[in-house]
Structure 1
Amino acid sequence: MKLKSLILGSIAAAGLSTAGFAADLGVLTSLDVCDELGLSGLTISSDTNCLQISGGVSYEFHWGDWNVESGVARTFDGNRNIAVGNTYTNAAGDEFNKDWESKVEAWLKFVGTASSDFGSAKAVVKLKSVERLQTWNEGQTTRNGAAVAVPPVTFVHGDTTQGFVIDEAYVSVGDSTVIMAGKKGSIANLGDDAPFNFLGLFNSDAIDGKGVGIDADTDYLGGAVIQVVSDLGNGVNVGLGLENLNGAFGVNANGTYKGVPANEQGTLVGVIGYAGEGITAHLTGLAFGILDGDVESWAIHAGATGTFDAFKVRAAVAYYDNFKFGTDVRGQGAANITNGLLSVEGTFDLFKLALSGEFANVDAVAANWTDYGFGGSIGAKVTDGIEINLGARYFQDALLDLGTTQVAVQLVAAVTETLKVTGEIGGFFGDGIKNGAIQPDDAVYYGAAELAWAPGGGFTSSIRGEVNSADAYKVTFKAAKSFE
């Protein structure tokens, strides 16, 4: 940057000293193509291209006794689990109960941009690496209690080795209308569907991003894509895409190929959204398995959030027709599924109130049922740096006729501008816990405390400890830093 400034200063001085030279030079604003394209951050430029570089590293370490988990609040999308302490005893009578996990995640993203007659032309490449080591009962068993794996390494979704893999690789061109092709995420808008109450809702928690009905973390969205998005002005945007064109990517934890059946490959995605004047809203339509000419399944997701002075209102609905994707719905066969959520929040001088409700209607081959849940919370500012939240939520599993309730109180204290302490105590109650054989009675109590530090520079870290009455405990350390 000092060399560029020196060159620009020299040219400017020459232009001011000689009027004839100024006329020949015209209006010279920059010698850097990155500046001409309006790009900033960590960049490298050539005569025609600007290369932006960003990345990050995060680390997590867990230690304690929690390797067994028992289901509670049996939602349609998956059991919410409670950690249970577990001791493994070998043939010699030796006991082993400690569990630990270490995870390092790193990513590098390169975006090369040049100008074109249609707008900015880009090539994007993102490299990602995840190394994760899990040890259960001091290496004597796996998480499921079977013989220990050698080595006990589990790779997370999307990664084939411990080294860097290509997480994104695509090209795009355009400004208000952008055409994209290659390997990337979905354009499906699945937002405006998270509840406002601080505990959330049980069924909503099973969705990636804690939402309604459709999980973005699926091979049926994104992957190899051809997409077009356009900003129509006045807050309106639209998009159309062909996704899941490669069928699958990556491997499962057991090393098998993570694939999508041929008849379910190819997803058509259509989106229309609005953002403006205190309102955000969208409608997303999905058709699955279109490459063979037959639509195997289709879905819609719609949501809206309105902010009106001290109040917020959010509503969302999702529908899956003929949901199967290689598995049954709770053993009842393929099903048509409707999910809905309504949440409201009011913010006053010292208090914040939130109420939320959800339902999931399942029309399966062998059965029909409607699960439902609701939750609420009240938050109060004790001082400028201290806040207390009190919340509860309930879920009813209609198929098994089991109910689960969670109640918790949370204290958040900003010790300094960079240091925050959070403490929480609560409990789970109901038939869902007793039926899950967590312990003889129908209650599990827990407590947790976390110290978070954000000194600036993009660095964050935290340490958290938690323990419950099911004899499980865990200490978690996290640290992360990103750059751009």
Structure 2
Amino acid sequence: MKLKSLILGSVAAAGLSTAGYAADLGVLTSLDVCDSLGISGLTLSSSDNCLQITGGVSYEFGIGQFRDEGIVASTIDSRKVAVGRTSGEDWDSRVISWVKFVGTAASDFGPASATIKLKSDARQRHHGAASGTTSTWDGDKDGRFFADEAFVQVGDTTTIMAGKKGSIANLGDDAPFNYLGLFNSASIDGAGVGLDGDSDLLGGHVIQVVSEVADGVKVGVGLEALQREAKNFGATGPGTLVGVVEYAGEGITAHLTAAAFEILNNKVDSWMLHAGVTGQFDAFKVRAAASYFNKSLIGGEVRGGAKPYNGANVLNALVSVEGKFDLFTLAASAEVQNVTNRPAGAADFTDYGLGASAGFAVTEGVSINLGARYFHSGFLSEGSTQVSAQLVAALTETIKATAEIGGYFGDAIKNNAAFKNDSIVYGTVGLAWAPGGGFTSSLEGTVNSEDAYKVTFKAAKNFQ
């Protein structure tokens, strides 16, 4: 069956909502549940052969006098801690769109499926007075749709997967609970102690097996990143061996993930461990997580272009606790990063950070969040602090307003020539609209004391 014919048939059946059209097409019999598989989707030819189609589009546009990302706290990837610098952009437009097809049928070993996810990620940015140029950045193949996922899988309690997909590595249970998060945690993988989410060391071309060995316990092993080419990544080659053990049940989730890199280069100089556990105890939630990267393949970047983590042994750990009560929520977190065995005899160093927040329900639909976080860079022997106050108000059932004021203070700003001031004060206001049907949109404006401002519009809709 050709994919084009299948898609056209699906659209016709869903749009006209009549069994007669599906029968005329000779492809679809009903829009129903695949009885033997318990899967909601378009039924193909029989009750145990099912096609699911999902997708979505998101758009973001920003305009103003932006600033490139500046180094506020010298973390493992400080480019992600953005406040303001001296060169800017006038506008930034980005569209991400995707459609995913999952065809599932019964087999003697359990459900057998093929997944194809097509994605496009196109972005165009106009740089401001610094360059006066327009640049186009596309996620892959000049903004055209590409195969973001393409894999087969079979099994029930034991599942075998092969193709192009995400990793089986569990890098969760490691995000801090406090309102602002933690500086180093945010820079590593968005919020955690593991690999950067953009890393190509996991996932990609894979062969994986995952099995439920007991109630709430899963184990998995995978050969991943088989598509990597050493010539494009310096001395880093293809092949990552991943193993994972997970538990979920009775208010506790926990995991241990191990990964050995470059196994197809027959050297395995670098490996990583990641562990996390979260426990819910009545009104309190507790979390602890740690990762250890032996001979790190992620260099990081701090002021002056230094990459103090490349080739070193890097230990990251955090603890976080949250208490939810009738009218308020309290949270506190702490993190530490220890970097040892740096190449060429460079000195070891230790970073650490703290964070805390308090949330108050003023009235039904109106709340206030107060937060602060601190980071000390052992590499640069300097500290950074952020404080923030945020108001969140539900104006209607579908419209929410937010307002935030805060500031960044400390040596990391005073010692950075990219900033004009010894401290940075910022303010943000925004509106979010969710009228239903999976549609969301928002409008946000922000300004800071570095003479930078930005207005951002977002809209998105997924279907499933």
Q: TM-score range by the shorter chain?
A: 0.7 to 0.9
Instruction: State the distance in 2 between where 1:378 and 1:104 align.
Output: 36
Q: How far apart are the structure 2 equivalents of 1:328 and 1:336? A: 16
Aligned partner (choices 230, 246, 269) of residue 296 of structure 1: 269
Alignment equivalent of 2:416, drawn from 431, 436, 448? 436
User: Does the Cα contact within 8 Å between 1:66 and 1:474 map onto a contact in 2?
Assistant: yes
Matched, 1:411 2:412: no
Q: In 1, distance between residues paired with 2:111 and 2:307?
A: 50
2:131 to 100, 118, 141: 141
Q: CA deviation at 1:68?
A: 3.2
Contact 1:219 1:260 in 2 (8 A): no
* Aligned equivalents of 2:116, 2:138: Cα separation in 1: 21
Partner in structure 2 of residue 234 of structure 1: 215
Deviates more, 1:430-439 or 1:311-320: 430-439
Alpha-carbon distance between aligned partners in 2 of 1:292 and 1:68, rounded to the nearest angstrom? 38
Judged with a 3 Å threshold, the aligned counterparts in structure 2 of structure 1 residues 386 and 281 are, in CA distance, closer, same or farther, namely same
Letter in 1 for 2:57: V
Match of 1:215 in 2: 196
Q: Which amino acid aligns with 2:205?
A: A
Q: Counterpart in 2 of 1:145?
A: none
Q: 5 Å matches for 1:264-413?
A: 264-324=237-297, 330-332=306-308, 334-363=311-340, 364-365=342-343, 366-413=346-393
Structure 1 segments (4+ residues) deviating >3 Å: 1-4, 30-33, 257-263, 324-333, 438-441
1:200 is the counterpart of 2:181:
yes
1:85 deviates by 5.6
Name the aligned partner's letter for residue 105 of structure 1.
I
Once residues 209 and 327 of structure 1 are traced to their aligned partners in structure 2, the CA distance between those partners, rounded to angstroms, is 14
Question: Matched residue of 1:205: which SS?
Answer: helix
SS at match of 2:339: strand
CA 1:408–1:102 in 2, change beyond 3 Å: closer, same or farther? same
Q: How many Å separate the matches in 2 of 1:341 and 1:126?
A: 35
Aligned-pair distance for 1:166? 0.7
Q: 2: distance between equivalents of 1:141 and 1:44?
A: 55
Alpha-carbon distance in structure 1 between the residues aligned to 2:252 and 2:77: 29
**TM-score, with length taken from structure 1:** 0.84
Greater mean alpha carbon deviation, residues 436-445 or residues 107-116 = 436-445
Deviations 1:1-59 (A, max 9, x none): 6539xx9xxxxxxxxxxxxxxxxxxxxxx997823321114x25134632111100111
Distance of aligned partners of 1:31 and 1:2 in 2 relative to their CA distance in 1, 3 Å threshold = closer
State the Cα distance separating 1:441 from its structure 2 match: 3.7
Q: CA deviation at 1:261?
A: 5.1
Partner of 1:89: none
Cα distance in 2 between the residues matched to 1:298 and 1:422: 43
Write the deviation string for residues 366-409 of structure 1: whole angstroms up to 9, x where unpaired: 11000000010011100111110111000001111111000000
Please tell me whether the aligned partners of residues 32 and 45 of structure 1 are also in contact (alpha carbons under 8 angstroms). Answer: no
- Any conservation in 1 of the 2:76–2:301 contact (CA below 8 Å)? no
Question: Structure 2 vs 1, CA of residues 358 and 476 (structure 1 numbering), >3 Å: closer, same or farther?
Answer: same
Deviates more, 1:445-454 or 1:410-419: 410-419
Matched, 1:153 2:130: no
Which runs of 5 or more residues in structure 1 are unaligned? Answer: 8-29, 87-96, 143-147, 249-256
Deviates more, 1:318-327 or 1:62-71: 318-327
Aligned to 2:7: none
Q: 2: CA distance between counterparts of 1:155 and 1:32?
A: 37
SS in 1 for 2:138: coil
Paired AA for residue 318 in structure 2: L
Q: 1:471 to 1:343 in 2, by over 3 A?
A: same
Q: How far apart are residue 216 of structure 1 and its match?
A: 3.5
Q: Give 1:102's aligned amino acid.
A: S
Distance 2:145 2:280 in 1: 42
Q: Tell me which amino acid in the other structure corresponds to 2:142.
A: T
Q: How many Å apart are 1:136 and its aligned residue? A: 1.0
Rate the CA distance shift 1:300–1:282 in 2: closer, same or farther, 3 A: same
* Whole-angstrom CA distance in 1 between matches of 2:89 and 2:288: 44
| Structure 1 residues 51 and 260, CA gap change in structure 2 (3 angstroms) | farther
2:312 maps to a residue whose letter is A
Q: CA deviation digits over 1:278-316, x for unaligned, max 9?
A: 100000000001013221200000000001001010000
Check if 1:472 corresponds to 2:455.
no
Q: Call closer, same or farther: CA 1:392–1:226 in 2, change over 3 Å.
A: same
| Cα distance change, pair 35–169 in 1 and its aligned pair in 2 (3 A) | same
Aligned residues, how many?
A: 432
The secondary structure found in structure 2 opposite 1:225 is strand
Question: Within the alignment, does 1:75 sit opposite 2:52 as a pair?
Answer: no
C-alpha distance in 1 between matches for 2:269 and 2:356: 38
Structure 1 residues 442 and 263, CA gap change in structure 2 (3 angstroms) = closer
Question: Which amino acid letter does the alignment assign opposite residue 3 of structure 1?
Answer: A
Question: Partners in 1 of 2:420 and 2:236 — Cα distance?
Answer: 46
Residue 99, structure 1, aligned to residue 90, structure 2: yes
Residue type of the alignment partner of 2:78: G
| Aligned 8 A contact 2:67 2:83 in 1 | no
Q: Is the 8 A contact 2:99 2:117 kept in 1?
A: yes
Aligned CA distance change for structure 1 residues 326 and 84 (closer, same or farther; 3 Å): closer
Question: Does the CA contact (< 8 Å) of 1:247 and 1:262 recur in 2?
Answer: no
* Per-residue deviation, 1:331: 4.2
Is 1:247 matched up with 2:225?
A: no
Match of 1:57 in 2: 57
Residues 1:129 and 2:129 aligned together: no
Shift of 1:208: 2.5
**Conserved in 1, the CA contact under 8 Å of 2:336 and 2:353?**
yes
Percentage of pairs with the same residue: 58
Aligned mate of 1:459, from 409, 415, 439: 439
1:168-179, aligned counterparts within 5 Å?
A: 168-179=149-160
3-state DSSP of counterpart to 1:116: coil
Structure 2 residue runs of 5 or longer lacking an equivalent are 1-16, 24-29
